[in-house]
Amino acid sequence: MTIQWFPGHMAKAKREVQDKLKLVDFVIELVDARAPLSSQNPMLHQVLNQKPKMYVLMKKDLADSVYTDKWLNYYKEKHIPAVAVDVSQKQDIEQVILTAKQMSQEKMERLKRKGIRPRPARAMIIGIPNVGKSTLINRLAKRKIAKTGDRPGVTTTQQWIKVKKDFELLDTPGILWPKFEDQVVGYRLAAIGTIKDQLLPSEEVAVFVLNYLSTHYYSSLQSRYKLEEASADVYHVMESIGRLRGCIESGGNVDLEKTADVIIRDLRDGKIGRITLEAP
């Protein structure tokens, strides 16, 4: 399976990122803490060249904290600044600002030595759709500037945003790459809601989720859906969940599509527990 999805506005956004890159000192890439590698955009890595970059692992409150720590250590070993963020926590927002200031400090000192008056550091903020970029920007700016929503593709234009007097952010639309060669990447992104639900059948995504949870988070799965015993048959598990949640068609059969939607929504909302879908 190869998922292809590259709307015209995303091709335009990629060109704009290339054009504006020379205006910024560094890049802040937002990824989802539940799938930090899968939610990176490999296409933008080619575009960004050698620009310094920091990672912000968004939605850490939905991710497994053990794995979040592993990811932060992974970036630390590679000497890449990284911060995990729950946007409702003020200290996390302050940590993003502090890390950004540290990244720009050397350049600001260089300008000072040249007799140039220091200016606010400038960063481009990038990320795939629905990673929480607009919400973070609003928290950084302490006012509602960027539109937010729980669906991909809310931000469609670039804009400059001032964050205190410390630095300026260039917001960019969420950009996906043209196709997912690895179907597991596609399933992870579909599960956490960063690609449109119409792109993959919900049953396939739910089967992927149940298989993963059965292997890595069975106790959370069992607790959420009152499963009596482990089963190797994922459709047997899905039917049990469907009956528990009342997803019944006329005739008494389980409506698998409705059941799949329930499982996916529960995962996204954190109702199954704090889940991470990949390790470093």
Asked whether residue 185 is domain-assigned, the answer is no
pLDDT tens digits for range 213-271: 999 999 999 999 998 877 778 999 999 999 999 999 988 899 999 999 999 999 999 99
Q: Tell me which of 176 and 203 has the higher pLDDT.
A: 203
pLDDT of 196 strictly over 90: no
Which pLDDT value is given to residue 2? 52
How many structural domains compose the chain?
A: 2
Asked which of 179, 212, 237 is the last residue of a domain, the reply is 179
N-term to C-term CA, the chain: 24
119, 207: one domain: no
Cβ atoms within 10 A of the Cβ of 37, count?
15
- Distance between CA atoms of residues 90 and 129, nearest Å: 24
Query: Do residues 151 and 53 lie in contact, with contact meaning Cβ atoms separated by under 8 Å?
Result: no
Q: To 5 degrees, how large is the angle CA 109–CA 115–CA 120?
A: 50
> 15-19, 85-89, 90-94, 187-191: which has the minimum mean pLDDT?
15-19
The pLDDT, as a whole number, for residue 162 is 84
Is the predicted pLDDT of residue 149 greater than 50, yes or no? no
Same domain, 134 and 27: yes
Task: Decide: 170 and 26 in contact? Cβ < 8 Å.
Answer: no
**Does 38 lie in the same domain as 143?**
yes
More confident residue, 196 or 264: 264
CATH number of the structural domain spanning residue 240: 1.10.1580.10
In percent, how much of the chain has pLDDT > 90? 50
Same domain, yes or no: 128 and 250: no
Range of the domain at 8: 3-179
State which of 179, 210, 230 marks the end of a domain.
179
d(CA 270, CA 256): 21
| Least confident range of 18-22, 74-78, 185-189, 221-225 | 18-22
Is residue 11 predicted with pLDDT exceeding 80?
A: no
For the chain, the average pLDDT equals: 85
Percent of the chain with pLDDT over 70: 86
**In the predicted structure, residue 21 carries a pLDDT above the cut 50:** yes
Same domain, 173 and 211: no
Task: Tell me what pLDDT residue 155 has.
Answer: 45
Residue 110 pLDDT level (bands cut at 50, 70, 90): confident
Q: How far apart are CA 37 and CA 35, in angstroms?
A: 6
Look up residue 8 and give its two tokens.
């015209």
Whether 212 maps to a domain, the answer reads yes
Domain-embedded: residue 240: yes
Q: Are 22 and 47 in contact (CB under 8 A)?
A: no
Please determine, for residue 4, whether its predicted confidence score (pLDDT) is greater than 60: no
Q: What is the mean pLDDT of residues 43-53?
A: 77
51 and 158, same domain (yes or no)? yes
- By residue count, the chain amounts to 280
pTM, full prediction: 0.86
CA distances from 35 to 155, 189, 242 (A): 21, 8, 27
The identity of residue 105, as a single letter, is: Q
User: In this structure, are 111 and 174 located in the same domain?
Assistant: yes
147 or 139: which leads in pLDDT:
139
153-194 residue pLDDT tens:
444 456 788 887 778 888 877 666 556 678 899 899 999 998
